[in-house]
Amino acid sequence: MEIRIFRQADPEYLLSLLLRYRILRIPLGLTFSVADLARDKADVHIGAFSGEEILATLTLTDSGHGALQMRQVAVDDAVQGRGIGKALALYAEEYAKKEGFTLMHCHARAVAAPFYKALGYETIGDEFVEVGIPHYHMQKRLGAVL
């Protein structure tokens, strides 16, 4: 498995978009809007690959004030439970630290909150509904790069 960074203009982006659509959007009856795709242009995308096959992906959005939002985290159903999501999240955190960010945060689906908690994220505030399902705002302070 190889984890690598890509941008919207790179060929990996289409693979990540298809994975995000299949894992995150179809089950909720959602599609991507023009605004969703426009937002992706300024973001950093990270994917886990086996050869040219995408296994998992996530997107990082600069929130300002030294914070990055981790969003659109998707792991292919066929490889869930193998630590690929964890490896991807940890890679994203290392990237963030190297780039000078001090906080990573996300809107975690309630079913994914234990995953983030195990990675050291804390819940901020109460449960809320986003895209029709329960979420939690979660965050993690990032230490300095050694």
pLDDT in tens, 50-73: 999 999 999 999 999 999 999 999
Which residue is listed with tokens 């985290």?
Answer: 73
Residue 8 lies in a domain: yes
Across the range 123-129, mean pLDDT stands at 97
Across the range 21-44, mean pLDDT stands at 94
| Contact in structure between 44 and 95 (CB atoms under 8 Å) | yes
Residue 115 lies in a domain: yes
Residue 146 lies in a domain: no
Of all residues in the chain, the percent with pLDDT exceeding 70 is: 98
145 sits in which H/E element:
none
- What was the pLDDT predicted at 73? 97
Residue 18 lies in a domain: yes
Residue 58 lies in a domain: yes
Count CB neighbours of 144 within 10 A: 7
Would you say residue 145 has pLDDT above 70? no
- 11: domain CATH number is 3.40.630.30
Which domain covers residue 137, as residue numbers? 2-141
7 sits in which H/E element:
none
Would you say residue 47 has pLDDT above 90? yes
Question: Pick from 111, 106, 126: which is nearest to 28 by CA?
Answer: 111
* Predicted confidence (pLDDT) per residue in 58-111, tens digit: 999 999 999 999 999 999 999 999 999 999 999 999 999 999 999 999 999 999
| Contact in structure between 77 and 114 (CB atoms under 8 Å) | no
Give, in order, the Cα–Cα distances in Å from 37 to each of 53, 60, 118, 122. 22, 14, 30, 29
Would you say residue 112 has pLDDT above 90? yes
Residue 119 lies in a domain: yes
Number of domains into which the chain is organized: 1
**pTM for this structure?**
0.94
Would you say residue 32 has pLDDT above 70? yes
Would you say residue 40 has pLDDT above 60? yes
- What was the pLDDT predicted at 82? 96
Burial (CB count <10 Å: 0-12, 13-18, 19+), residue 65: exposed
Angle (nearest 5°) at CA 144 between 68 and 5? 45
CA 47 to chain centroid: 9
Rounded Cα gap, residues 73 and 80, in angstroms? 12
